[in-house]
Structure formats: structure tokens, C-alpha cells
Amino acid sequence: MNNSVKPDRVIIFDTTLRDGEQSPGASLNIEEKLTIARQLARLGVDVIEAGFPYASPGDFAAVQRIAEVVGEEQGPIICGLARATRADIQAAADALRPAAKKRIHTFIATSDIHLQYKLKKDRHEVLAIAEEMVAFARSLVEDVEFSPEDAGRSDPEFLYQVLERAIAAGATTVNIPDTVGYTTPEEFGALIKGIRENVPNINHAVISVHGHNDLGLAVANFLEAVKNGARQLECTVNGIGERAGNAALEELVMALHVRRHYFNPYFGRPIQSEDPLTQIDTRQIYKTSRLVSSLTGMLVQPNKAIVGANAFAHESGIHQDGVLKHKLTYEIMDAQLIGLTDNQIVLGKLSGRNAFRNRLQQLDFELTEDELNRAFLRFKELADKKREISDWDLEAIVNDEIQQAPELFHLEFVQVTCGDRSQPTATVTLRTPDGQELTDAAIGTGPVDAIYRAINRVTDVPNELIEFSVQSVTAGIDAIGEVTIRLRYQSKIFSGHAANTDIIVASAQAYVNALNRLSIFRQQGRTVHPQRDHETVREKSAIPS
């Protein structure tokens, strides 16, 4: 991407792997992050914020791996977040080193409430830190983004000064965060306009926006910001992120696409121009949404704009009649535009390895030989139980089988008896990494309760089950069921996900999957949170070189 200071289109900065991963329960392992990063590159995002390298050695390694694998010359810019400290900025630069195009994103809060209670610093100190740390970041990389955190509640006059100093020190993008999702569209648009008019050197940087959805206004705020000169939008797939989440990538991209004639004049284009306003391949949107949802365990609500299960379903008679007469009566966009194709029945019991491999290639899955072998075995098992296998089934198999959390406990065996005249009873066997097989049994109020009690007896990992859900991948009695669960341990949430035609087996696997994530967290210990852990300075040796 040409990082010109006046882009004539919108730059999509994806922060699913950083702000999105800060959502309770959304934590991802390194392989899962890499899978998402690859898909984001296919989607065509301009910048991937791959994480906060200083948080832990695991976060550092994930950013470094994404920089290596996805950060090629033709690929997106790879960005790492850093608080305005030397240690954070150095860690980001080190992790990003393998990327062809790298960006350090550093931030410090500017609202009085953050200065007084979080930073315990005055405005002069914050100005000096912002200037010094942007200059330090710029001494390490060419592309530096600066964010005045909580800009939405900051005094605009102070904001102008901080931004001017950050740009003078070398910031190439200045990002305006509505950190707590407080502003309204009109206010946010006016804030961007004020910055454009009052920061003397603003033409030397791209104006970016970042916003949370606490009042459900994030996307509306961004669109108003675009009209007032913002040219980079920071967003996440499915809108996941801290608290109520971030502005949703798919909503922004499709709003700019469907209403391009409305937005064209703000880019100095002729109203009727059909040139896209972003470089996103919209046909990858649905697939990206499904991938992020299945790996993070953050389910998409059925009525969610663009990617929800009902977004293109026409239930009411009047609507169906209208859509049959002419699609445009009730549809403003074609489902195919986001890659939501008809659920094609493509494979069956007699399909061979080649047909399987070819279909996965057509669906843009890049699997290693080993992953392909495992997925094929799983496909054969499924084909014995289910006559017709659709693209959505294939996607469920691949997401489930290939992209699993590292296993501390492996589910070897599960058996349940239940019915209206018996006490639900489960027996489970788990295998530990040293090959030990542990078996136990329990009774419960239902089959899933019995399984979870039996697993708890074996693993002895303290946790509280806070959410359990089952969804079917396709219609039909032989459909694959996807189970997602969320566990709480010491105020942190862990999710687990599994897919199987037997929902009892899927329930057991999803639980073991979540327990594995929880146990790994207990082994690795706490990570630094970029916004809440203001004082933490990690030992330098914790970051691998």
C-alpha cells in the first residue's frame, strides 16, 4: 500500500488480533493467530495489528511469526502495539523485524480523567512523553502510528497540541480513539474536523479512527469521521473487542461499498464512480467471520448486520413475496457479495482424497500435508454418518480439526447413559502428554452435566462453566453440531469449541478444549494488559531475542 499522507481511499486497519483478542474469552494460540492473519491478508486488509509484543513471550512470538509468514512484500503492513515506554517500543520493533512493511503503534492517554487517575501525570509530562516516544519509535521503523488514548473525552485544545508534537516527532498516522465509546456521530465528526483545522502539520499524517461500541455507535461515528477527513479505520471482524467491542470491519466495508455514491464526493470522486472505496475483497467477508467466530468462541448474534445468520434470510411472507418478484424490493446487497454462496452439496462417501483436496483449495484453505491427512480422516468418518457433505461441513471439519489448542488433556473416550428412567451417568478417559490414561465416572442432572463432572474429577482444574451453546452447521437430522462453551477462572474467561455429528461428543471435546486453554494460562502466568496495566515493566529477559 502506498502510505501517502492523503490516501484517496479508506485504509482498513484490522485489530482483531490485538483489540479483538482483548475480549473476555477470546484468547488465541499462536497457530490460531497465524491462521486468522493469513485470512485477513486474503481479505485484503491494509494493516494487521498482530498484537502487543510486550505482553508476554507468547504474544511476542505470535507477532514475530505473523511478521515472518504474512508480512511479505506484497502483503499487508504488520503492526505491533506499544505503550509509550522504551521497553514496549523496543519489543514491538524486535518482534516486527521479519516483516517487509512494519509499523509501531504507540499510545498514551490524554483525557484529564486518565491523566489524573491512571497515569498520575500532568499535561506537560504527557506532551513530553508522547514526543520522546514517537521519536524513539521512528528511530527504529519508518512507519509510526500515535494514539492519544481516550481522545473522545480529551480537551480538544490539548489534543491538538499532542498531535502536533507527535507528528513533528515523526508520527506518520495519528489515530483518534473513542476508547470508551462515548461520543455521538456528530461530535466525533466535529472532533475530526477540528483536528484537521487546528493541527498545523496535520497534512503530514494520515488521520485514523478507533472506536468502541458501548453505545452501539462505533460504525456510525466512523462513517461521520470519514466524511470529515479520516482515511484509516481501525476495526475488527464481527466487531469483537474490549467490552461491547470495536467498530465491525464488515459493516464499515459494506456501508462504504453499498453507499459508495453517497460517500464518493467526500473523496473528491464523481458521485457515480464505481471504484471501490476500500481494497477489501468482500467475497472473503463471510468466511473470515466464520473463522474468527469459531477460533475465538465469540458467537455471532443471528441478527448481526452483514454476517448474522438472519442477515439475508427473509422470514416474513410479505418480504419473501417481494424478494421473489424483484430482489431489490427488500435487499440492498446480494449475499454473494460477502461470499455467502448457496450451501453446495459437494462431496460424499465415495469422494476420494483428490476431490477433497481440490474442494478445500477452491475454498481457499491452505493446509500442510499433515493437516490435510488429519482432515481427510475426519471427512471419511463424517461421510460414514452423513450422506451429503457441504462446503459448510468441510469448513467446520477444518476449523475444528486443524486449528485446535495445544493439548494437555486429550479426550480418548466418552460414554453416557441417560433417558427418562435413568440417572445420567458418564464415563470419560483422558490422556495426558506423558501418555497416562485417566478414567473416572460421574452422575449429573443431564448427560452434559455428567460428562463435565467426570472430566472435572479427572483433571481437577478449578473453573466455573458460564456459557454452553449448540448450533447446527446445516439443516437436517444428520447435521454437524457445533458446541461452544465458556469457563471462568479467577475473573478470566476461556472458551472451547468443537464440532461433531454427536453433540454429546462435541460437548466433551469443547470442554476439554477450554480446559486446555485454561491450564496453559495457569502454567504461563499473567500477561500485561496494554491499557489497564499502566505501571507494569516486564523484565527485559522475558522477551525472547
Residues that bind Zn ion (CB under 5 A): 19
Find residue 103's DSSP bridge partners: 79, 143
CB of 181 to Zn ion, least distance (A): 9
Q: How far is the CB of 147 from Zn ion (least distance, A)?
A: 9
- Name which of 298 and 487 has its Cβ closer to ligand KIV: 298
Judge contact between 175 and 209, C-beta under 8 A: yes
Instruction: Name which of 152 and 424 has its Cβ closer to ligand KIV.
Output: 152
Helices (H), 228-349: 249-258, 260-263, 285-296, 317-325
Residue 56 or residue 147: which is nearer to ligand KIV going by CB?
147
Burial class (CB in 10 A: 0-12, 13-18, 19+), 302: exposed
- Whole-angstrom distance, CA of residue 82 vs CA of residue 93: 9
**Rounded distance between C-alpha atoms, residue 407 and residue 267, angstroms:** 50
Given a contact cutoff of 8 angstroms between Cβ atoms, the answer to whether 247 and 222 are in contact is yes
What does 59 bind: Zn ion, ligand KIV, none (CB cut-off 5 to 8 Å by kind)?
Answer: none
Task: Please list, in sequence order, all residues whose beta carbon lies within 8 angstroms of the beta carbon of residue 119, skipping any fewer than 6 positions away.
Answer: 108, 109, 126, 534
Q: What DSSP character marks residue 535?
A: S
> Judged by CB, which is closer to ligand KIV: 170, or 530?
530
Say which entry of ligand KIV, Zn ion, none residue 107 contacts (CB below 5 to 8 A, set by partner kind): ligand KIV
CA distance 23 to 14: 15
Closest CB to ligand KIV among 81 and 508?
Answer: 81
| C-beta neighbour count of 57 within 10 angstroms | 15
CA neighbor of 28 nearest in space, from 537, 523, 494: 494
Q: Are 56 and 524 in contact (CB under 8 A)?
A: yes
Nearer residue to ligand KIV within complex by CB, 26 or 347: 26
The minimum distance between CB 47 and Zn ion, in angstroms, equals: 15
Q: Which is nearer to ligand KIV, 147 or 293 (CB)?
A: 147
Q: Which residue has the CB atom at the shortest distance from Zn ion?
A: 19
Nearer to ligand KIV, 52 or 263 (CB): 52
- Helix or strand holding residue 176 (H, E): strand 173-178
Q: 109 forms bridges with which residues in the sheet?
A: 149
* Residue 154 binding result from Zn ion, ligand KIV, none, given CB thresholds of 5 to 8 Å by partner type: none
Of residues 464, 543, 501, the one with CA closest to residue 25 = 464
**Binding-site partner at residue 294 among Zn ion, ligand KIV, none, CB < 5 to 8 Å by type:** none
CB of 236 to Zn ion, least distance (A): 9
CB of 82 to Zn ion, least distance (A): 14
The interface partner of residue 114, options being Zn ion, ligand KIV, none and the CB cut-off 5 to 8 Å by kind, is: none
* Binding positions for ligand KIV, rule: CB under 6 A: 19, 107, 147, 149, 177, 179, 210, 212, 530-531
Of 167, 36, 43, 50, nearest to 104 (Cα)?
50
Distances (CA, A) of 179 to 12, 216, 298: 18, 13, 21
Cβ at position 448, least distance to Zn ion in Å = 35
**Which of Zn ion, ligand KIV, none does 149 bind, CB closer than 5 to 8 A by kind?**
ligand KIV
Least CB distance to ligand KIV at residue 109 (A): 8
Shortest spacing between CB 529 and Zn ion, in angstroms: 12
147 binds, among Zn ion, ligand KIV, none (CB under 5 to 8 A by kind): ligand KIV
